């Protein structure tokens, strides 16, 4: 089935923003570890921050597949722009899929569309050892108001977002895994920076630690429990959209390598440059990464469209698959860029040529660390003790 | 069967409350069970009742309460 005309228009817009804005500032964003404000502003202008918001609430009503292709497009020009965009969409997805029963949260999603508000995620916490499925902080409720304080190890673009979506325990006596999500709007919270963000890559995501203090109305607590939201939405959207943008980084690396090899070939027509064989290998790796990412995005979109599908997303088999796509994409992206660098050689290693791959590689190294692959492997190891069908 | 299930929950479920007195329909995840401890509960149940949970049963709802675990075991041992 060919994509709807609208779909290609949106994808075209993402490529235009990537080419004309994100790519122009990507070097400076990386060098100065600064927020990619120009490209996020351009995405706002195209109303892409409300891509997932249902049409009746003023958004685009986009599905996972199309959003995946947009993340891949942005990843080809500026990894930080693509990651900020993806992380925001993951937050919107949680609200769109779990909060529509609340009239206040529906109204909030309308404001995401009309005001193009940017939402940051506060799932990390000092003391939980990187496990987003357990919290120390808890909602403290008095009548219809609550207060919430959280010591977050990292909040990506925390100083640039209007609003925050925070995980915490349901009440002060709740078990560590009995979590809810809470929306904090500008004015509800204060952030006190507790660490720096001078990193190897993904520098423009601006993700230092913060101490969060906040208060709000109980209607800002997303109905239901975070455990189900995590399995049905947070994890699938995170892993698929991250994989999609990492794929974008790999695509640009292979594109640069291709133009390097073609330049060699043009210099000596009639002789296939030895590097062309390596390029053929990298092209093969890229194709498998692309297929793997698309396949899972497509499956997620189908499952999300029915109640049986949403039920199936709570099963261990689905979690295994979602974890595997993240592990594979994170490792394969680095492998592809490294192979591309081997082909381009010194001109790829240099930071100031049209074949430079340093930023690609540094950004891609974050992939196996943002939710550590070792932690994910350990979860899969545990699930495989009871899961039977390979 | 009920006592065996509750003993397994007590030993492997990492519950904050007493598994022996927990209501039949009480949410085990809210009582402190994590996805990691739920796997240990599944393994202990498979050993105790000499069954294998098919993959379709490996989801939160099936292991969410004493009552739902009992229903699953009954389904597997009835055949």
pLDDT digits (tens, 9 = 90+) for A128-137: 988 899 999 9
Superfamily of domain A120-220: Butyryl-CoA Dehydrogenase, subunit A, domain 2 (2.40.110.10)
Domain boundaries, given as residue ranges, for chain B: 2-78
Q: What is the pLDDT confidence band of residue B78, given thresholds at 50, 70 and 90?
A: confident
Tell me the per-residue pLDDT of A228-263, one tens digit each, with 9 for 90 and over: 999 999 999 999 999 999 999 999 999 999 999 999
CATH code of B2-78, in short, is 1.10.1200.10
Tell me the per-residue pLDDT of A170-226, one tens digit each, with 9 for 90 and over: 999 999 999 999 999 999 999 999 999 999 999 999 999 999 999 999 999 999 999
At the top level of CATH, which class does the domain A5-117 belong to?
mainly alpha
Question: Which of B58, B69, B72 best tests the A interface by mutation, with the highest count of A CBs <10 A?
Answer: B58
Tell me the per-residue pLDDT of A7-66, one tens digit each, with 9 for 90 and over: 789 999 999 999 999 999 999 999 999 999 999 999 999 999 999 999 999 999 999 999
Q: Is B47 on the interface with A (CB under 8 A)?
A: no
Mean pLDDT within A304-330: 95
What are A291's two structure tokens?
């297929």
β-strand pairing of A145-152 with A163-169: unpaired
What are A339's two structure tokens?
């192979």
Helix, strand, or coil (residue A166): strand
Measure A131 CA to nearest chain B CA, in Å. Answer: 11
Q: Is B9 on the interface with A (CB under 8 A)?
A: no
Residue A305 CB neighbours (<10 A): 11
pLDDT for residue B70: 96
Domain boundaries, given as residue ranges, for chain A: 5-117, 120-220, 226-383
Classify residue A242 as exposed, middle or buried by CB count within 10 Å of its CB (0-12, 13-18, 19+).
Answer: buried
pLDDT for residue A4: 63
Q: What is the pLDDT confidence band of residue B17, given thresholds at 50, 70 and 90?
A: confident
Tell me the per-residue pLDDT of B5-16, one tens digit each, with 9 for 90 and over: 999 999 999 998
Mean pLDDT within A369-389: 95
β-strand pairing of A210-217 with A145-152: antiparallel
Cβ separation A178–B30 shorter than 8 A: yes
Count the residues in chain B: 79
Mean pLDDT for chain A overall? 96
Tell me the per-residue pLDDT of A117-130, one tens digit each, with 9 for 90 and over: 999 999 999 999 88
Q: Which residues of A touch B33 (CB under 8 A)?
A: 177
pLDDT for residue A309: 94
pLDDT for residue B19: 87
Q: Which residues of A touch B30 (CB under 8 A)?
A: 170, 174-175, 178, 225
pLDDT for residue A5: 64
Cβ separation B53–A386 shorter than 8 A: yes
Cβ separation B35–A379 shorter than 8 A: yes
- Rg (C-alpha) for chain A, rounded Å, is 21
- Give the residue on A whose Cα is nearest the Cα of B45: A386
Least confident of A74-88, A274-288, B25-39: B25-39
Mean pLDDT for chain B overall? 92
The answer to whether the Cα torsion of A26, A27, A30, A31 is positive or negative is: negative
Report ipTM (2 d.p.). 0.89
Q: Is B21 on the interface with A (CB under 8 A)?
A: no
Mean pLDDT within A265-287: 95
At the top level of CATH, which class does the domain A226-383 belong to?
mainly alpha
pLDDT for residue A3: 56
pLDDT for residue A2: 56
The rounded percent of chain A whose pLDDT value lies above 70 is 98
Asked if A222 contacts A105 with a C-beta cutoff of 8 angstroms, the reply is yes
Asked if A296 contacts A240 with a C-beta cutoff of 8 angstroms, the reply is yes
d(CA A203, CA A198): 7
């Amino acid at each position: 089935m060919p994509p709807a005309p609208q779909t290609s228009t949106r994808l075209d817009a993402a490529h235009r923003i990537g080419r004309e804005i994100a790519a122009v500032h990507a070097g400076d964003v990386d060098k100065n570890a600064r927020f990619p404000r120009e490209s996020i502003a351009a995405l706002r202008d195209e109303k892409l921050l409300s891509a997932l918001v249902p049409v009746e609430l003023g958004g685009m009503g986009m599905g996972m597949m199309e959003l995946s292709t947009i993340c891949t497009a942005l990843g080809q020009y500026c990894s930080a722009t693509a990651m900020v965009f993806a992380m925001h969409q993951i937050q919107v997805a949680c609200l769109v899929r779990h909060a529509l029963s609340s009239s206040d949260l529906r109204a909030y999603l309308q404001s995401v569309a009309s005001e193009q508000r940017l939402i940051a995620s506060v799932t990390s916490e000092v003391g939980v050892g990187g496990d987003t499925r357990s919290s120390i902080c808890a909602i403290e409720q008095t009548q219809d108001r609550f207060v919430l304080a959280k010591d977050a190890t990292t909040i990506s673009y925390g100083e640039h977002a209007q609003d925050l979506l925070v995980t915490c325990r349901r009440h002060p006596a709740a078990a560590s895994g009995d979590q809810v999500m809470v929306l904090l709007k500008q004015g509800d919270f204060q952030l006190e920076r507790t660490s720096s963000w001078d990193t190897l890559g993904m520098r423009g995501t601006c993700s230092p630690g913060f101490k969060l203090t906040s208060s709000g109305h109980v209607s800002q607590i997303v109905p239901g429990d975070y455990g189900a939201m995590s399995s049905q939405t947070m994890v699938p959207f995170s892993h698929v959209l991250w994989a999609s943008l990492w794929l974008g980084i790999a695509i640009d690396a292979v594109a640069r390598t291709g133009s390097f090899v073609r330049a060699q070939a043009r210099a000596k027509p009639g002789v296939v440059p030895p590097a062309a064989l390596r390029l053929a290998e990298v092209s093969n790796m890229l194709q498998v990464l692309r297929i793997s990412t698309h396949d899972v995005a497509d499956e997620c979109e189908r499952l999300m469209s029915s109640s049986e599908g949403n039920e199936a997303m709570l099963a261990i088999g689905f979690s295994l698959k979602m974890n595997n796509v993240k592990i594979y994409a994170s490792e394969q992206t680095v492998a592809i860029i490294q192979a591309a660098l081997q082909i381009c050689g010194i001109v790829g290693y240099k930071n100031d040529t049209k074949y430079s791959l340093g930023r690609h590689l540094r950004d891609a190294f974050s992939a196996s660390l943002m939710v550590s692959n070792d932690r994910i492997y350990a979860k899969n190891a545990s699930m495989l003790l009871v899961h039977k069908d390979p | 069967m009920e006592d065996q299930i509750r003993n397994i929950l007590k030993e492997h479920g990492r519950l904050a409350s007493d598994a022996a007195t927990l209501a039949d329909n009480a949410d085990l995840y809210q009582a402190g069970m994590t996805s990691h401890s739920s796997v240990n509960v599944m393994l202990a149940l498979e050993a105790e009742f000499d069954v294998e949970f098919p993959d379709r049963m490996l989801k939160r709802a099936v292991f969410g309460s004493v009552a739902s675990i009992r229903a699953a075991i009954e389904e597997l041992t009835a055949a």
